Chain A
Amino acid sequence: GQSLEQPSEVTAVEGAIVQINCTYQTSGFYGLSWYQQHDGGAPTFLSYNALDGLEETGRFSSFLSRSDSYGYLLLQELQMKDSASYFCAVRDGRIYNQGGKLIFGQGTELSVKP
Chain B
Amino acid sequence: GAVVSQHPSWVICKSGTSVKIECRSLDFQATTMFWYRQFPKQSLMLMATSNEGSKATYEQGVEKDKFLINHASLTLSTLTVTSAHPEDSSFYICSAPMTGTRNTEAFFGQGTRLTVV
Contacts and interface: CB of A to CB of B under 8 A. Distances in A.
Nearest to B100: A97
A43 interface: yes
A99 B46 contact: no
Interface in B17-70: 30-32, 34, 41-46, 49
Contacts of A102: 34, 44, 46, 95, 106
Contact of B108 (A33, A40, A42, A103): A42
A44 B97 contact: no
A101 interface: yes
Majority DSSP secondary structure for residues of B touching A: loop
Contacts of B30: 97
B116 interface: no
Nearest to A31: B104
Contacts of B107: 45
B40 to A, nearest CB: 10
Contacts of A107: 42-43
Interface residues of B, number: 27
A87 B44 contact: yes
Interface string B88-102: 000001010111000
Contacts of A100: 103
Contacts of B43: 87, 104-107
Contact of A40 (B6, B42, B46, B113): B113
A58 interface: no
A96 B103 contact: yes
Interface string A13-36: 000000000000000000101010
